[in-house]
C-alpha cells in the first residue's frame, strides 16, 4: 500500500513539475512573450513599448512567474483553466473539444492498428494452430519497413496520393467519418506493424508451451489454440499498447497538422508557438492525465487477464524456443544503403548548376537534380551519413539512459509515462528554450 501511495505521489509531483516548467516558458525563451502574443492577435499592429506593456499587464506577465502560476493553479481548483491569451475565451471548453477529436482519432487508429497487427501475425497464427510452426523462421520484411515509416511521411503520401491525386477520400478537415479514414490509417498502420511484429515474436513461445501441446493432444481445434495463444501474449503487449495510446493522442501533432485536424496535439503545439500559456498548460495537463489513465487501464487489464499468476510471479516470460534463422534481406538493405552513401560521398552536394534544374534520373545524375541543379545522390549520401552518425549517438545515449532507469523501475515508470505524454514537438520547444539553438539541440530534443 505504501508503495502505491508513493508511486501516486511521485506521479503527481512529475505532473506538477511539468506543468510548472511549461509555465516558465515565457521567461525561458529569448523572445518577448508580449511580442509573440501581439503578433498572434494582430500581425499588423505596431509593437510599440506602450502596446507591449499593456499586453503584459493584461495577461499578468508583469507580476512574475509565481503570480501567473499561482493564479492559474488557483483557478484550476475551481474548475477554471483560465482565459486564452490570444482569443480571450475560456480555455477548458476548447481543450475538451480538442481532446474529444484526439480520442476519436486514437480509437479509430487503434482499430486500424489491431487489424494491421492481425494481418502481420496471421501466418504465424495459422501455422502455430496446425503445429507446423518453424521455430527458426523470421518475420516478413514488409511489416518491418512499415513499422519504420514515420507517421508524417505516411500521412503526406496518403493525403497527396489518395486525397488529392485520386480524390477517393477528403484530405483536409474534420467534418465527418470519411474525414477520419486517412488520419487513422496514417497513425494506425505503423503502430499496427510494430505491435504485429512484437506479437509475431511472442507467438512461437506461446505455441511451444506445455499447455499448447496438451490442448492439441486433447483434440482442441486450431482456432481455439490460436485464440488462447493470443490471450497468452496480450499481457506482454499491454505496456507497449499503453505507450501507443498516449502516443497516438499527444504525439499525433504531425498527422493533425497534415490533415488539418483540431486535435489536442495540434492545439497544444499552436499554443506553444504563440506562447498562449493557459491553453498550453491545460493541454499538457490533459495529456498527462490521459497517460496516467492509460497506464492504469493497461495494468488493470493485465491483472484481469492473468489473475493470481501476475501477483504471485508464477507467469513465465515468453521467448523463442530457438534463435531465429539468419535472414538475407537485412544484409541486402544494408548493402544498398552502403552503396548509396558511398556513391553520394564521392559527389559534391553543394555544387550548383542552374542549367540542370529538376532533371530526371540519368547516368550523370542517378537520382536526378533538385530545383537548384544540385545532385540528389550527393545530397542523399551526405545527409544519410550525418543522420546515421547522429542517430547512432542518440541511440547509444538513450540505451544507456534506459538501462540506468530500468534499475529503478518504481521511479522511472511514472517518469517515462509522463514524458511520453508530451508531444515531441513541445519537448523540442522546451529544450530549445532552455538550451538555445545549436547543433546539439536537436539531438537533446530527440533523446528526451
pLDDT at residue 434 in the model: 64
Position 223 pLDDT exceeds 70 = yes
Confidence of residue 441 (pLDDT cuts 50, 70, 90): low
Q: Are 147 and 197 in contact, with CB atoms under 8 Å apart?
A: yes
Position 150 pLDDT exceeds 80 = yes
- Comparing C-alpha atoms, which of 108, 121, 115, 106 is closest to residue 196? 121
What are the tens digits of pLDDT across the range 234-247?
Answer: 888 887 787 778 77
How many helices and strands in the chain, by DSSP H and E? Answer: 21, 0
What are the tens digits of pLDDT across the range 381-391?
Answer: 999 998 888 88
SS3 326: coil
Identify the sign of the CA torsion 267, 272, 274, 277: positive
For residue 259, what is the DSSP state?
T
Instruction: Name residue, grid cell 488557483.
Output: 74
Q: What is the DSSP string of 375-393?
A: BHHHHHHHHHHHHHHHHHH
Question: Which domains does the chain possess?
Answer: 91-312 (1.10.3720.10), 328-447 (no CATH)
Position 379 pLDDT exceeds 90 = yes
Instruction: Report residue 431 as a C-alpha cell.
Output: 529544450
Give phi and psi for 369, each to the nearest 5.
-130, 160
Instruction: Report residue 416 as a C-alpha cell.
Output: 517515462
Position 411 pLDDT exceeds 80 = no
Amino acid at each position: 500500500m505504501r508503495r502505491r501511495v508513493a508511486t501516486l505521489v511521485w506521479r503527481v509531483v512529475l505532473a506538477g513539475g511539468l506543468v510548472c516548467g511549461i509555465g516558465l516558458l515565457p521567461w525561458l525563451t529569448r523572445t518577448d512573450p508580449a511580442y509573440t502574443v501581439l503578433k498572434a492577435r494582430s500581425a499588423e499592429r505596431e509593437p510599440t513599448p506602450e502596446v507591449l506593456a499593456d499586453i503584459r499587464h493584461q495577461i499578468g506577465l508583469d507580476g512574475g512567474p509565481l503570480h501567473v502560476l499561482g493564479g492559474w493553479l488557483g483557478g484550476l481548483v475551481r474548475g477554471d483553466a483560465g482565459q486564452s491569451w490570444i482569443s480571450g475565451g475560456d480555455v477548458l471548453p476548447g481543450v475538451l473539444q480538442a481532446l474529444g477529436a484526439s480520442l476519436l482519432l486514437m480509437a479509430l487508429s487503434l482499430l486500424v492498428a489491431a487489424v494491421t497487427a492481425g494481418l502481420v501475425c496471421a501466418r504465424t497464427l495459422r501455422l502455430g494452430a496446425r503445429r507446423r510452426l518453424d521455430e527458426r523462421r523470421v518475420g516478413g520484411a514488409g511489416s518491418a519497413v512499415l513499422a519504420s515509416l514515420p507517421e508524417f511521411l505516411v500521412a503526406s503520401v496518403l493525403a497527396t496520393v489518395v486525397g488529392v491525386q485520386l480524390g477517393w477520400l477528403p484530405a483536409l478537415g474534420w467534418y465527418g467519418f470519411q474525414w477520419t479514414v486517412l488520419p487513422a490509417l496514417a497513425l494506425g498502420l505503423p503502430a499496427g506493424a510494430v505491435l504485429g511484429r512484437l506479437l509475431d515474436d511472442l507467438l512461437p513461445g506461446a505455441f511451444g508451451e506445455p499447455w499448447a501441446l496438451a490442448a492439441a493432444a486433447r483434440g482442441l481445434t486450431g482456432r481455439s489454440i490460436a485464440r488462447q495463444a493470443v490471450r497468452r501474449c496480450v499481457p506482454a503487449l499491454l505496456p507497449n499498447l499503453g505507450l501507443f495510446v498516449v502516443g497516438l493522442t499527444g504525439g499525433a501533432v504531425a498527422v493533425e497538422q497534415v490533415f488539418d485536424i483540431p486535435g489536442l496535439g495540434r492545439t497544444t503545439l499552436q499554443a506553444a508557438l504563440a506562447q498562449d500559456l493557459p491553453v498550453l498548460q491545460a493541454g499538457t495537463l490533459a495529456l498527462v492525465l490521459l497517460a496516467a489513465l492509460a497506464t492504469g487501464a493497461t495494468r488493470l487489464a493485465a491483472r484481469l487477464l492473468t489473475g493470481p499468476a501476475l501477483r504471485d510471479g508464477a507467469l513465465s516470460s515468453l521467448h523463442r524456443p530457438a534463435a531465429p534463422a539468419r535472414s538475407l534481406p537485412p544484409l541486402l538493405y544494408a548493402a544498398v544503403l552502403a552503396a548509396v552513401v558511398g556513391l553520394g560521398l564521392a559527389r559534391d552536394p553543394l555544387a550548383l548548376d542552374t542549367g540542370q534544374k529538376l532533371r530526371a534520373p540519368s547516368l550523370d545524375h542517378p537520382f536526378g537534380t533538385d530545383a537548384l541543379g544540385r545532385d540528389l545522390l550527393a545530397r542523399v549520401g551526405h545527409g544519410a551519413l550525418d543522420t546515421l552518425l547522429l542517430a547512432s549517438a542518440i541511440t547509444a545515449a538513450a540505451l544507456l539512459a534506459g538501462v540506468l532507469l530500468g534499475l529503478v523501475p518504481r521511479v522511472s515508470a511514472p517518469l517515462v509515462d509522463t514524458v511520453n505524454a508530451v508531444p515531441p514537438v513541445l519537448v523540442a520547444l522546451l529544450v530549445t528554450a532552455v538550451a538555445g539553438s545549436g547543433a546539439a539541440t536537436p539531438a537533446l530534443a530527440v533523446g528526451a
